[in-house]
Amino acid sequence: MGKYRDRLGIIADILHAAGSGAKKTRIMGGANLSYRLMEKYLKSTVQAGFLRLNDEGYEVTEEGQDFLKRYLDFVGRYSKLESEVQSALFERGVLERMCQPSESCRLKTGGGRRRRVKSVC
């Protein structure tokens, strides 16, 4: 199952779908949005100056192109950072497990009870 998109991701998808010019139907399908969400986000992207309406449909403005470029750069950096954080968390788990007493540090005594060896661990 995929991740949910945030507001910035939806706006980027709309700008990408609009390309050099598109009507609502193409944007809705290209950005994978319901009609209601497409209407909401089209309005906000036009108000932000990222899209403009002309005779052919919607087209991406220079501001929209700048946003899309910066967003794609951000996503790349964010993905690398997220990967680094996951790697660091994994390493922390390894270190935590290393601090736990191992099976070789336990002795089995009569009656099935275990006790730790004090001098070794």
Which residues lie below 8 Å from residue 61, measured CB to CB, with a gap of 6+? 49, 50, 51, 52
Quote the mean pLDDT of the chain: 87
Q: Which CATH architecture has domain 7-98?
A: Orthogonal Bundle (1.10)
pLDDT of residue 4: 82
Residues 82-102: tens digit of each pLDDT: 999 999 999 999 999 999 987
Residues 19-51: tens digit of each pLDDT: 889 999 999 999 999 999 999 999 999 999 999
**Amino acid of residue 60:** V
pLDDT of residue 102: 76
pTM exceeds 0.75 for this model: no
**Could you give the CA distance from residue 18 to residue 30 in angstroms, rounded to a whole number?**
8
Q: Would you list the domain boundaries of the chain?
A: 7-98
